Chain A
Amino acid sequence: MEFTVQDLIQALLPGAIPAPVGYPLAAILVAFAVLSAFVAPLAGVTSWLERRVWARMQSRVGPNRVGPQGILQWLADGVKNIQKEDIIPASADRKLFLLAPYIVFAGFIGAFVVIPFGSWLIPADLNIGILYLLAITSLAVVGILMAGWSSNNKWSLLGGMRSAAQIVSYEIPAGLSVLTVIFLSGTLSMQGIIQAQGWAPQDWFIFYNPFTLVAFFMFFTSALAEGNRTPFDIPEAESELVAGYVTEYSGMRFLFFFFAEWGNLYVIGAITTTLFLGGWQIPATIFGVTMAEHPLAKGVLEFTVFFVKSYLWVLVAMWIRGTLPRVRVDQLMAMCWKYMVPIAFVCLFGTIVLLVIWPDGNPALSLATLGFTTLVLVYFMWRVVYQIMHSRPELYLKPYV
């Protein structure tokens, strides 16, 4: 089953259409289908879920009226925003102002090209996949800077400048953490990185050794910063910069920025899963059934495993946003250069040293790292129970209201 979506398009192309014409046409069609059937609902449902998760943390209910439990809220919001007037400030740089949301959007949508949803479900398994990802996700900063500058508004300008400084700085710890993984896997291809890991937690790169565990947190934090998420949401810091670089936008253009932000959350989760959490890896045999003999079941299972793992990190990002205050712009820089870059370097060199000692990894070290993480999680659950006992609230164990 070693073929990709690329091969699929080529196989299904009718013979009458010459390949140079048909292939781009099919690619556009597929891209459109994927956009409307997967990415748009994903970003939309994420926006709804974020509001619900946030609401529960704040003793509220959240949007629950449109559709079952409010799951169609994003459609209502979209329809509302399309109907709104598209205001362009008189003194704005018109062309750049109109273009900026699409560039941000393109940066986010381009990332889906190399996200491996299954062993064969990947639009293009580029041999420089992770490098491509680091490059294409940085495209967003161009759009944000463009929006900040062209709005001709001081708040927007401050927001755009903050965003540029932030994203460029945080590329470094993110890149160093990715480098740690590349050292372990020996490839830049997304599928290659996943195939270098196993399905069991101790085979994942996050538990490979203590350094990769730290590298994982470095990567996730940097990714949050690049995605402009709390505690690093300073480019749109509502209480300081009104709305940052989106201050002058309205209607659908405004929504495009947030569409990209919520979609980007999933991209962050997907990259994290690919690099550190074993991607779509499932056991070769489940209850005595050899998975290779059932390609469809295997594909569905792989997709589910990948999706659940990556969406877990979306939920964690929402949870962090519901907890933490925002850092100041100079502290953001200090945190990056004084703390995260050195720590990421230590992780990289530590991993290299351990690779020299045990070129094929040390199962005992992996198990120890896994055990430590489990202990931390158990302690965390104990703290949660303590918080509930301490304030003696009324309990309500249903996820919906």
Chain B
Amino acid sequence: MSEAAGSTGLHTEDMTLNVGPQHPSTHGVLRFVVKTDGEVINEAIPDVGYLHRSIEKIGEKCTWHGYVPYTDRADYLAAMFANQGFCMAAERLGGVEVPPRGEYCRVIACELNRVASHLIAVGTFGQDIGAITPFLHALRERESINDLMEEICGARLTYNYLRIGGVGYDIKPETCARIAAFLDHFEPIVDEYNRLLSNNKIFIERLADVAVISKEDALQYNLVGPNLRASGVQWDIRRDIPYSVYPELDFEVPVGRGERGTQGDSYDRYYVRIRELLESCRILRQCLDKMPEGPAVAKVARKFKPPAGETYVRIEAPRGDMGYYVVSDGSEYPYRVRIRTGSFTAMSIIDKISPGIMVADLIALIASLDVDAPEIDR
């Protein structure tokens, strides 16, 4: 415990606070050891590992097909992306070609999932700042997406929709019509959400110029996804290392513009997600229009045995660059599965940014990075 004599010559001490593992706004089981001088933070050290479930090790004991439902659990808010990462890795190893309709089904499901995940991110953001109504409005819209997901793949949270070689279930035309109806309903709701929360002066004051991450820091600390884009780096795997049918789609990559304060502040990280919601809606509309006919899944052997080799697949998940490093030894089981997630690297920058901000700002910082405890630990 550091000791310092203040300007008055009085003896003062730092206070050590344990934020978590059970704390209302740590988004799962997370812990921060915070040293504060009153309300001002001198040091905040993240402590991870409370939610470790050995998902990578389980991969070595499951068949290639059987591991797909486990990847759902890597990040339960964006299960579709975890599925996609692993399936793409397995397809690349086994040389499986996904039919075009399967790719479109994947993109539709993934973008719906991205909207749901970002809704959680912006909703809990409001809740952490103290506004509970926007949180429930966001979750109300997410429920509609869950209903759509239930119609597409039969599950609301752990989808297990993607298969090696395509998707498990074709999206029916009536479901496509319902997705289009949802988008028509959703876009005005985002606008309303902005008027309720994003434009609120108290909300802006809480976030603007708080916990600014510069472009250089963001790159050095390996931030990915919306957190990186908020700092002004235009980097999106969907556009820069294209996969699936993203090259055929027209969409923009929103970056932080510092419109309410400095580029890379908490407000930018929040607002980039709001703009990505609308971009995802745009992608969804294009996909619904362009949906080709044909099979949704390629023929893949039940006993899938890709030839020995290794691959690394990167996809753009809602929490940024999600990487799957998969090694095959030609057997029925993967030899090694390694998952790289965005939340884990986002945790490392908290140490660097937190000195000098207040306890309430730390909560805003964690919320703005949109870390998800199961994704940190896997």
A323 at the interface (CB under 8 A from B): yes
The residues of A that contact B200 with a CB separation of less than 8 Å are 324-325
Note all chain B residues with C-beta closer than 8 A to A238: 24, 130
Interface string of A96-121 (1 = CB under 8 A from B): 00000000000000000000000000
B360 interface contact, C-beta 8 A = yes
| A3 → chain B closest CB, angstroms | 47
What sequence of 0s and 1s flags, for each residue 308-328 of chain A, a beta carbon within 8 Å of any chain B beta carbon?
Answer: 000000000000001111111
Bound CA–CA A242/B191 (angstroms): 32
Q: Does residue B15 face the partner (Cβ distance < 8 Å to A)?
A: yes
Write out the residue numbers on chain A whose beta carbons fall within 8 Å of the beta carbon of B9. none
Q: How large is the interface on A (under 10, 10 to 19, 20 to 34, 35 or more residues)?
A: 20 to 34
CA distance A326 to B363 in the complex (A): 12
Contact between B131 and A325 (Cβ–Cβ < 8 Å)?
Answer: yes
- Give CA–CA (A272, B127) in the complex, Å: 30
For A234, the chain B residues whose CB sits under 8 A away are: 360
**Chain A residues near B205 (CB-CB < 8 A):** 327-328, 331
Interface centre among B191, B202, B203 (most CB of A within 10 A): B202
- A240–B203 CB distance below 8 A: no
B359 contacts partner chain A, Cβ-Cβ < 8 Å: yes
Which residues does chain A contribute within 8 Å of B129, judged by CB atoms? 239, 325-326
A330 in contact (CB, < 8 A): yes
A240 touches B133 (CB 8 A): no
Q: How far is the CA of A242 from the CA of B132 in the complex (A)?
A: 15
Shortest Cβ distance from B129 into A: residue: A325
Partner of A59, one of B25, B132, B140: B140
Provide the residues of chain A in CB contact with B17, threshold 8 Å: 154-155
A155→B363 CA distance, assembly (Å): 14
Interface residue? A80 (CB, 8 A): no
A151 at the interface (CB under 8 A from B): no
State whether B358 touches A328 (Cβ < 8 A). Answer: yes
Residues of B within 8 A of A327 (CB): 202, 205-206
Instruction: Tell me the interface secondary structure of chain B in the complex.
Output: helix
Task: Give the shortest distance, in Å, between B134 (CB) and chain A (any CB).
Answer: 8
A328 to B201, CA, bound (A): 12
Instruction: Please determine whether B15 and A231 come into contact, CB atoms closer than 8 angstroms.
Output: no
- Least Cβ distance of B184 to chain A in Å? 9
Nearest Cβ on chain A to B345's Cβ, whole angstroms: 24
A390-B127 CB under 8 A given contacts A57-B133, A328-B206: no
CB-based nearest B residue for A389: B188
Q: A325-B126, A325-B206 are in contact. Are A58 and B136 (CB under 8 A)?
A: yes
Q: Which residues of B contact A58 (CB under 8 A)?
A: 132-133, 136-137
Residues of A within 8 A of B47 (CB): none
Say yes or no for A373: interface residue by CB 8 A criterion. no
Does B39 interact with chain A (Cβ within 8 Å)?
yes
B133 with A239: CB separation less than 8 A: no
A331 to B364, CA, bound (A): 15
B24 and A239 within 8 A (CB): yes
- Whether B130 and A326, one on each chain, are in contact in the complex, defined by CB atoms closer than 8 angstroms, is yes
| B residues 183-205 in Cβ contact with A at 8 Å | 185, 188-189, 191-192, 196-197, 200, 202-203, 205
B16: min CB distance to chain A, Å = 8
Given contacts A154-B17, A328-B361, contact A240 B25 (CB under 8 A): yes
B156 within 8 A of A: no
* Cα separation A60 to B132 with both chains bound (whole Å): 12
Can you report 9 residue pairs joining A to B where beta carbons are below 8 Å apart? A59-B137, A59-B140, A154-B15, A231-B130, A240-B363, A322-B132, A324-B130, A327-B205, A390-B188
Which residues of A approach B to under 8 Å, CB–CB? 54, 57-60, 154-155, 158, 162, 230-231, 233-234, 237-242, 322-331, 387, 390-392
Leading 6 A-B pairs by shortest Cβ distance: A326-B130, A58-B136, A325-B131, A239-B25, A325-B129, A325-B130
